[in-house]
Structure 1
Amino acid sequence: MQVTLKPVFLDRFRAALCRLGCADDRLLCAVSGGPDSLALLLLAQQILPGKLVAVTVDHQLRSDSANEAQVVAKICRDLGVSHIILTPDEKIVGNLQSSARTARYALLERAADAENCQHIATAHHADDQLETLLMRLARGSGVDGLSGIRARNGRVVRPLLEFTKAELIDICSSGGIEAVNDPSNANIDFDRVAMRRWLASTQHPFPATRALRTTSALADASDALVWMTDTLAAQRIRQENDIIICKASDLPRELKRRLLIRCLRKMDSNLAPRGDAIDRLLTDLENAQASMIGNIKCLGGADWQFSKAPPRRAQENSL
């Protein structure tokens, strides 16, 4: 199959790969069959001939999913791109979107290792970024959450973040490829679908390209705060026997909050308290009060102290 794409799209995609540091490496491309991932496939096939492996994950959540994966397989054959279909090791249960995402990325990581691909590309784009920003704003997220979808997360890269949905549909049209229709994309029970529907049906002042500027600025701010927290943690957190001590009383509240989270994770790496629980605990510590979170005893004051609470039975026997 001969595909001719607009040079401006190819130039922008090549520039994105260069910024992400993967312009010359083997790339594993996640292709579901929708217009976004098919556009990613077409662009990558043009820019990285011979260095591309496409993967479709069949989550086996719908009766048509196996057929849709085969449609993608045929498109890849026509393009001369190696293609793999993967299925989860276990049935997807619970929160379907979250569980499917976890299973999908685990399968992609495994396939990237097997195919000797240094990077995994997904088709997140500018409209996805806008949806993410607004969804997290509605949930009251802080700087880290509002930084949105990162262009790079480990070996996962997202070279389409500066492309709009309309541009990706244009790319598929130019390539003469018809996208697969996933009915779950019309299910407004999913928060993202509901946000997408609202954005499509409302005259709103949120252009996707402007959202990119906002999330990029917030990502820079988040990275700066992480760097600052790393520096302060090395200076202000110490361990004495089984007690972790942190001197944070003279710092801005956001840095106190981040150091607090570092201390809690040092005590229990599995602890994942919600933001409001952290805020309440931080207020207690600022007021020199004692508090509990999970199985960790926390004592405020000039120096915060964190220690594991004794097992409940031991506490009861000591009474």
Structure 2
Amino acid sequence: MSPAFAARFAADWQRVWGDDRPVGLAVSGGADSLALLLLACAALPGRFAVATVDHGLRPEAAGEAAAVARLCAAWNVPHTTLCLTLAAGSAIQERARDARYAALAGWQQGAGLAALVTAHHADDQAETLLMRFNRGSGLRGLAGMRPMARVPGHEAPLLRPLLGWRRAELSEIVAFAGVVAADDPSNHDVRYERVRVRQALAQADWLDPAAIAASAAHLAEADAALDWAVARDLHTIAAMPDGLAFDPADVPRVLTLRMLERIVMQLAQGTPRGRDLARWHDLLAGGAVATLAGVRGDGRARPWRFTRAPAHRRLRKSEGGA
């Protein structure tokens, strides 16, 4: 491996984590995750373990996991194969993602590892941003993947030290090492949105995935600034005997949405989806009484008032004739 690549990864790792505790790498056997493994071997010797998930969806997956295990054994890296049983059917990629993260989080916790590390890179980030633009996502969604986040559905840190790297660079690292990467056929299946976006990006040579990924990073900075502003102004959410009150007068809509999110988190310990939160806001702004994620909001007067709602109630335009 090029010493420059190893030094670059070490610097990226220090920025993202900067902690000497051992971590767990998710390595599927594809080129991206194998490059992550090779970079970690060069920069983090003795400070990580590896897990490979076999979703049980392809007969080749067991052999791919075994190949990763052999590489890890040759390089003295602890390796675990996590076997899942998923039924084929609708939303398979989403279900596989959820099951994969759950299995990896359980492994990471059980092995006493401080964080989970994935090989998401700049091209992944660009694809994610374009997909979310196409869905009308808000600022939080457009901020894309963060270098440090939480494992979905879990509290463990999720690290992505390769967000500044291109797919071609990672493939170069693997090719130089003489390692043969697995090729999951789903990565070429145009039934999946990400594959269609990836192919469209490849065909549009005037689009620069690195610049798109940089835009996601700028949006993430703006998103963090909103969180900072909300934290500074949390005193504007007033306690009531049975809930909370908030006056949105003269507050920009984007900040009001973050305040509403904090209210839901405080009263119901849940995090609502951005689209549902925006709809809730618009109902309240129209003078309705509406419920979201177990929180009843009353927008008929100022300040808006919020209380816990019965668990069976769902978001709707009005309640009780309001």
The TM-score, its normalising length taken from structure 2, stands at 0.87
Moved more, 298-307 or 68-77: 298-307
**1:293 partner SS:** strand
Structure 1 residues 215 and 95: CA distance shift in structure 2, 3 A: same
What corresponds to 2:218 in structure 1?
217
Q: Within the alignment, does 1:249 sit opposite 2:245 as a pair?
A: no
2:161 aligned residue (156, 159, 162): 159
Cα deviation, 1:257-302, whole Å, max 9, x if unaligned, reads 2212322344434573552x44344234334x12223465432232
1:128 aligns with 2:127: no
- 1:189 alignment partner, one of 179, 188, 191: 191
Q: 2:68 maps to what in 1?
A: 72
Q: How many residues align?
A: 305
Q: How far did 1:137 drift? A: 0.8
Equivalent residue runs for 1:71-150 within 5 Å: 71-88=67-84, 95-150=91-146
SS at match of 1:178: coil
Letter in 2 for 1:57: V
Task: Indicate conservation of the 8 Å contact 1:249/1:286, yes or no.
Answer: no
CA RMSD of aligned residues (A): 2.4
Partners of 1:150 and 1:220 in 2: CA distance: 10
Is the 8 Å Cα contact of residues 248 and 259 (structure 1) preserved in structure 2?
no
**Counterpart residue type for residue 38 of structure 1:** L
Distance 1:143 1:55 in 2: 33
Supply the distance in 1 between the matched residues of 2:48 and 2:312 (Cα, whole angstroms). 55
Kindly name which structure, 1 or 2, has the bigger radius of gyration based on alpha carbons.
Answer: 1
**Pairing 1:286–2:285 present:** yes
Moved more, 176-185 or 114-123: 114-123
Note if contact 1:93-1:99 (Cα within 8 Å) is conserved in structure 2: no
CA 122–303 in structure 1, closer or farther in 2 if over 3 Å, else same: same
List runs of 5+ in structure 2 lacking aligned partners: 151-156, 314-322
Change (3 A) 1:302 1:94: same
1:163: Cα distance to partner?
1.0
Whether the 8 Å contact between 1:27 and 1:121 is mirrored in structure 2 is yes
Pair 1:119–1:279, CA change in 2 (3 A): closer
| 2:289–2:297 CA contact under 8 A, matched in 1 | yes
Q: How many Å apart are 1:241 and its aligned residue? A: 2.6
Aligned position for 2:297:
298
* Secondary structure of the structure 1 residue equivalent to 2:212: helix
Secondary structure of the structure 1 residue equivalent to 2:35: helix
CA drift of 1:232 comes to 2.0
Check 1:19–1:311 CA distance in 2 against 1; reply closer, same or farther (3 A cut).
closer
Q: Contact between 1:17 and 1:23, CA under 8 Å: does it hold in 2?
A: no
5+ long unaligned stretches in structure 1:
314-319
CA distance in 2, matches of 1:279, 1:48: 43
Q: 1:90 to 1:48 in 2, by over 3 A?
A: same
How far has the Cα of 1:204 moved from its partner?
3.1
Alpha-carbon distance in structure 2 between the residues aligned to 1:201 and 1:312: 48
Q: TM-score, normalised by structure 1?
A: 0.87
Aligned-residue sequence identity (percent) comes to 37
**CA 311–103 in structure 1, closer or farther in 2 if over 3 Å, else same:** closer
Cα distance in 1, alignment partners of residues 269 and 64 from structure 2: 40
Letter of the structure 2 residue corresponding to residue 291 of structure 1: V
Equivalent residue number for residue 7 of structure 1: 3
Contact 1:31 1:37 in 2 (8 A): yes
